[in-house]
Structure 1
Amino acid sequence: MFNKVQRDLLKKHVGPFLFCFFVLMFLLLMQFLMLHVDKLVGKGLPFFVVVELILSNLAYMVVLAAPMATLVSTLIAFGKFSEWNELTAVRAAGVNPIKLVMPVLAISAIVFVSTAYFSNYILPEANHKARSLFIDIRMAKPGFDLEENTFYEGIEGYTFLVRQLDADSDTLRDLTIFQEPVQDRYRAYIRAETGQLVSDDEQTLTLYLNNGSIMRHIPGERRGNETVEITEFNRYRLSFDLSDLAFSRTNPDSRSRTGRTMSGEAMLAVVDSIQQEVHREFNNFTERTNQQEAIPYAVDRTSGMYRRATQTRTDSIPAFESSYEALNLIDHPLNQISTLNLASNSLSRYRADVESFRSNIDWRILRIAEFWVEIHKKVSIPFACMLFVLIGAPIGMLTRNGNIGVAALISAVILTIYFIAIIQGEKLADRGVISPFMGMWGINIVYLIIGSFLMLHVCTAFRITNLFQSND
């Protein structure tokens, strides 16, 4: 299928691609752990839950690492090919360099299709599972960890304030506890000179208090009647149920999905339903505004003047001269005032309807844009696998250097520009400033044009400067 030179060039890609892919996966994993380590520490999470959370988040790292590794490996492979004068020999043999790029481009197309499939079907499920796990972890409260002069609300229904902690003897000094009211207890403030924590098992915690007082607020039969009861004690015991501090799993299918946890087909179905809602809103608004309130005026056939249908007075009070021609057709000032009030009320109702209609439509249009952004993203980022071959191959030939440091430096510049454009394009498209297509594909189009010019520069005698030279 491929000749010897093409197979040799493909072999030069395999090692750098695998090396860069796993290095990038490691770096992305370290970044993930640094960002979320505070959410995992102190939760008492099972080891396998942490492993599952990490594995489910590896999915989005694969989609990012594949195009990045493709760019670095392409720069290294073609840089070495040119550095070792193999490109010069191929050109001397009359072989166009485009024939060397085509096999790599074909393999990158396979990677693109595989990554796009992964991004559309596997990544949403992994994101949904990771999102569900994050919610479960967030709901798992931290362990009973008191700090000096800091309010602690880790146990539901209680707030603790400790002025001094004796770590050696587990003694709490100058302790205040705020007890919230529930069915079987009243609102109370508990003060104690000292206290000791004793944990009989993982589900129960006992706090022994010494030399203190309890101030209970006992509600009366009538609202506003409250009795305050103060009790002194030498020793008092409080028991807390810690079962709600333990981590518990919920079924991910019971949680709602967002754009990043749905496949493209599912998002298209949601977009279609939202568009139908937009049409219904428009039809309802049209029906409401078309139902205009009839003005109770009739035309006098003899004079051609508008008169109020219920008006029976025939006094000779002159009508006001108005800048509105319609009001000048009405022959009575009371009728003119009534008409103005009626028109003002109608305009107020119409303005409220317009504002409500516009806010509903704008909200739905932005939701549609957000879904379209996610749909385009599932293809645009994997497409960079082919795009980076088109850019990396001619740059590697022109640099004539297959050093990984040079390739990493060039890749850093290209990838930084690429992902900044993707992130900013997504934000602008979500806000409706630009279309979702341009937000996700704009940088791809720019890089495609640049890559095409670079390929023409390497494979033909075409030069960009020729476009600016005169034919004279």
Structure 2
Amino acid sequence: MDLKILDRYILSRFLYNFFSSFLILMVIFIFQGIWLFIDDLAGKGLGLVIIGKFLFYYMPSLVDKVLPLTVLLSSILTFGTFAENYEFAAMKASGISLQRAMRSLIIFVILLGGVTFFFANNVIPKSEQKTFNLRRNIAKVKPAAAITEGVFSDFEGTGEGMNIKVDRKYGEQDRFLENVIIHKKTKQGVNNTVIKAKGGELISSEDSDIIQLVLKDGNYYEELKPKANKDRRKHPFAKSKFETYTINIDVSELNNQDLEEDGNITTNKMKNVTRLIKDIDSLGEDNLKKVEAFSKNISSRMGAFPLLTKKDSLRIETKAKQPEKDIDSKEEADTTKKKDSIQSVEELFAGLETWQQLQIINSSKTTVTGILNTVKSKKDELQKRFKFYNSHILSLHQKYALAFSCIILFFVGAPLGAIIRKGGLGLPMVVAIVLFLTYYFIGVFAGNYAKEGNIHPAFGAWLSTLIMLPLGIFLTQRATADRGLMGDGNFVERITTFFKFKKKEKKAEK
């Protein structure tokens, strides 16, 4: 048998299954993504070109889910079909082992792993950035898209900014709003005005650079800040009721918004390996500085762990030159003085008046409570900072783990297909989905634990792949030795035979 012809045949069958599986799975995940972002796309008056760009930018971010599943499914399909059609039996009869039959595919999968890493390092970060900026810029051009039901949304024009919360949006292009709450911000970014209305409407025109937000049946609250303290106490805020209140928003600059404009790279998913390594070092150093500064601040407030002062060498030399008698007499005097002055805390506290004791206790409680509140608030801040730091380490290792997982899952799927001896999209699809969900959810849970700092981020990124590694070795050994999934026979065939035997027994009884 010509081995080159055999290699081309096996490779062509695998590539057919690989690309067909990839296209089918990509379409499925794209539809899932459309449902995920349906609120950002539907009813906003967006053209097909903008929606097409959004989906085009979104597709590369699905590769980390689609590609491992594709490798697993296509390898099970290919080798399951070979085993089912007794093509493997013919290969083994010709003296061709499973490893030799897999050689061309092993080379392809290794090259695929390299391409996957390049894709994860260069294409996916750019895709995440493009998707993020396109959603942000759509929200600027289409004002209704910037308002999310049930939460406060930033809504900024060229003038004063504001936060808007609505209970419901309805009507054409979501122009009508129900139960509106607005926090208007000053130029310094301070919320000093609150507007509440039962209803509202966004009115715009293609020929105008002004969008009108017309509020109906509401109240207006404004915090006044006179210069004199006396006036602040007398007039803390102004309140008024209105039937109709119109807010004009100048969008002359926003109408010229470029939907392809790239903003700052803000998340770890938007960064490549070089940027991640650089940011990991800077974030780690910055976090340590924050912890050290906070520790010194708390120590100084508590009066504990005083900083050691440097010794004066000149005073030490002067003391050394003093006669021994003078030194001894001075030490005795100091010891006597300390004995007279030292008292226990209980004795010191008992010697005070009752009002003084209460004052000390209340002061101590206030101090301790203040320190505890400071520690709790700082703890939340530091947890967010370290979570951000851990997510960068996790993202860095996930890029390498994704490339390596394609190789590992091939060595899981190929021998598994040879063992179960089933082709088509029935049993292989079920087995592939079960294995992939196991792999995927282990990765998700490990990633969440890693971000919270419960496990090391590098371990969290590699855990699912490391679990699949011994499974791949085990299955490859079983398939090479022509042994079943469990025991010496085929586990699937045993189950099938068992049910066939039960059916025969029932027919015999009848």
TM-score range, shorter chain: 0.5 to 0.7
The reply on whether 1:243 has 2:242 as its aligned counterpart is: no
Give the match for residue 411 of structure 1. 432
Give the match for residue 130 of structure 2. 129
Give the match for residue 84 of structure 1. 85
Structure 1 residues 46, 457: CA separation in 2 closer, same or farther (over 3 Å shift)?
same
Give the match for residue 398 of structure 1. 419
Give the match for residue 503 of structure 2. none
Structure 1 residues 282, 442: CA separation in 2 closer, same or farther (over 3 Å shift)?
same
The reply on whether 1:387 has 2:388 as its aligned counterpart is: no
Paired residue type of 2:106 = L
Structure 1 residues 459, 200: CA separation in 2 closer, same or farther (over 3 Å shift)?
closer
Give the match for residue 327 of structure 2. 301
Structure 1 residues 291, 8: CA separation in 2 closer, same or farther (over 3 Å shift)?
same
Give the match for residue 451 of structure 1. 472
CA distance in structure 1 between the partners assigned to 2:215 and 2:396 by the alignment: 60
Paired residue type of 1:406 = L
**Retained in 2: the 8 A contact 1:44–1:143?**
no
Give the match for residue 330 of structure 1. none
The reply on whether 1:108 has 2:109 as its aligned counterpart is: yes
**Cα deviation per residue 1:327-357 (whole Å; 9 max; x = unaligned)?**
xxxxxxxxxxxxxxxxx9xxx9xx99xx79x
The offset of 1:105, in angstroms, is: 1.5
Paired residue type of 1:441 = W
The offset of 1:6, in angstroms, is: 2.4
The offset of 1:430, in angstroms, is: 1.6
Give the match for residue 276 of structure 2. 267
Paired residue type of 2:251 = S
CA distance in structure 2 between the partners assigned to 1:48 and 1:40 by the alignment: 12
Give the match for residue 481 of structure 2. 460
CA distance in structure 1 between the partners assigned to 2:211 and 2:287 by the alignment: 55
CA distance in structure 2 between the partners assigned to 1:220 and 1:141 by the alignment: 38
**Retained in 2: the 8 A contact 1:200–1:206?**
no
* Identical pairs, percent: 19
CA distance in structure 2 between the partners assigned to 1:158 and 1:316 by the alignment: 65
Trace 1:250-261 onto structure 2 (pairs within 5 A).
252-261=261-270
**Retained in 1: the 8 A contact 2:138–2:145?**
no
Structure 1 residues 44, 13: CA separation in 2 closer, same or farther (over 3 Å shift)?
same
**Cα deviation per residue 1:150-175 (whole Å; 9 max; x = unaligned)?**
x9998989999xxxxxx9xxxx9xx9
**Retained in 1: the 8 A contact 2:390–2:453?**
yes
CA distance in structure 1 between the partners assigned to 2:287 and 2:195 by the alignment: 55
Give the match for residue 70 of structure 1. 71
Structure 1 residues 266, 218: CA separation in 2 closer, same or farther (over 3 Å shift)?
closer
The offset of 1:41, in angstroms, is: 2.9
Structure 1 residues 321, 51: CA separation in 2 closer, same or farther (over 3 Å shift)?
same
**Retained in 2: the 8 A contact 1:208–1:238?**
yes
Give the match for residue 454 of structure 2. 433
**Cα deviation per residue 1:412-456 (whole Å; 9 max; x = unaligned)?**
100000010111111122222222222111221221111111111
CA distance in structure 1 between the partners assigned to 2:449 and 2:242 by the alignment: 64
Give the match for residue 308 of structure 2. 292
**Retained in 1: the 8 A contact 2:155–2:161?**
no
The reply on whether 1:442 has 2:468 as its aligned counterpart is: no
**Retained in 1: the 8 A contact 2:162–2:185?**
no
CA distance in structure 2 between the partners assigned to 1:86 and 1:462 by the alignment: 17
Structure 1 residues 304, 204: CA separation in 2 closer, same or farther (over 3 Å shift)?
closer
SS at match of 1:301: helix
CA distance in structure 1 between the partners assigned to 2:481 and 2:91 by the alignment: 14
SS at match of 1:433: coil
Give the match for residue 4 of structure 2. 3
The offset of 1:397, in angstroms, is: 0.7
Trace 1:141-180 onto structure 2 (pairs within 5 A).
142-143=143-144
Q: TM-score normalized by structure 1?
A: 0.67
Uncovered stretches (5+) of structure 2, i.e. residues with no partner: 165-170, 188-192, 300-304, 312-318, 346-363, 489-510
Structure 1 residues 422, 131: CA separation in 2 closer, same or farther (over 3 Å shift)?
same
Structure 1 residues 75, 123: CA separation in 2 closer, same or farther (over 3 Å shift)?
same
Structure 1 residues 254, 389: CA separation in 2 closer, same or farther (over 3 Å shift)?
closer
Structure 1 residues 246, 318: CA separation in 2 closer, same or farther (over 3 Å shift)?
same
**Retained in 1: the 8 A contact 2:22–2:67?**
yes
CA RMSD of aligned residues (A): 5.6
SS at match of 2:281: helix
The offset of 1:277, in angstroms, is: 4.4
Q: TM-score normalized by structure 2?
A: 0.63
The offset of 1:395, in angstroms, is: 0.8
CA distance in structure 1 between the partners assigned to 2:5 and 2:99 by the alignment: 15
